[in-house]
Amino acid sequence: MIRDNLEHWLNRIWYAETPPPAWLMPLSCLYCTLVRIRRKARRAGLLPAIHPGVTTVVVGNLTVGGTGKTPFVTALVCLLSEQGLHVGIITRGYGGKAANWPHRVTADSDPYASGDEAVLLAQSCAVPVYAGSDRLAAARALLAENPVDVLVSDDGLQHEQLGRDIEIVMIDPLRGFGNRHCLPAGPLREPVSRLQQVDTTVALGEHPEAGFHIASEPGDAINLLDPHNRRPLGSFANQPCHAVAGISNPGRFFGMLNAQGLQPDTRHFGDHHPFIEADIRFDDDFPVLMTAKDAVKCRAFAGKNCWYVPLELNPGPAFTKWLLETLKRKKYCG
């Protein structure tokens, strides 16, 4: 509860039109200074990056919180696999309580041990997924058991110990970079000037600073207890329903439902919320809708009225062309 309240308070500051509290600004200046010192040390060779030995694509963001990385990584991996490439994924496994890291994550892994996003990636992509906060160690563990052509790092932009060939930054199309201040006065992990050093930027929607705007839309709702049971999302529009979300920007999910004609009673929690059965129970049997990320944590105690809504992406020919050309140009050759 305390964590959820703090997250809500910070988001109000970060994405408000008014300046952040003055007492936070010195802390942000200190944070930015430390980030710049670290980057200069990295460029000077004092903190050398170590390349895992295969072409490595890092997908990340400058802001704290969700920008659509997980569905984008899923689409990216599918796109690479369609080209005949063998792909592996490394991810942090945020929120996971496993005793041993890094480790392989499968579709049947416990999301409370390996992290919700890691399990969702394993369920969505038929490729090896390894989780661990040390991305280099995760990469080495993956490559020791799986010969792959391309390694995709989910949310690894700031983990500069991991050498990489391509960097893709995700931008929230609605919230952008907020007040454009670094932590803690703003949502930035690094200054916006970092965008000058990455290969491209992507938004799942329209944003003036994005190099590519990728179309996304909700797919059919899928029943948590019976994945073969699917309903068009619009079929929930003319009936009472609930929506729950434990993500960093629940308004985006609720707004997506509203755009399809749904008017759900909403209940939201902090990002990576550790769901319990009471969180998705109501005093009725109306449908309960949630995100795919939350579904991996709720499936064990979900009722037959629980559904999740996947996000479907279409990278489009322009991004596909850019990706294949960039891979050819920046392929790791040892």
The binding site for ATP consists of 63-70
Alpha helices in the chain (DSSP H): 2-14, 25-43, 69-82, 111-114, 116-124, 135-145, 250-259, 292-298, 316-330
- Assess contact for 188 and 297: CB atoms under 8 A: no
**HSE toward the beta carbon, residue 289, CA cutoff 13 A:** 32
* Residue 330, token pair as written in the block: 């920046």
**Binding site residue list:** 63-70
Residues 6+ apart with CB under 8 A from 224: 295, 298, 299, 302, 306, 307, 308
User: Is residue 162 within 8 Å of 139, Cβ to Cβ?
Assistant: yes
Neighbour-count burial for 146-173, b at 16+ CB within 10 Å, e otherwise: bebbbbbbbbbbebbebbbbbbbbbbbb
- CB 308, CB 221: distance < 8 Å: yes
Tokens encoding 237: 């529009």
Closest C-alpha among 280, 301, 282 to residue 291: 280
d(CA 134, CA 90) in angstroms, rounded, equals 10
Quick check: bond before 250 cis, omega within 30?
no
Q: Which residues are within 8 A (CB) of 228 and not within 5 positions of it... i.e. 6 or more apart? A: none
Residues 99, 138 contacting (CB under 8 angstroms):
no
Cβ burial of 249 (10 Å; 0-12, 13-18, 19+) is buried
Angle in degrees, 0-180, between the axes of helices 69-82 and 316-330, rounded to the nearest 10: 70
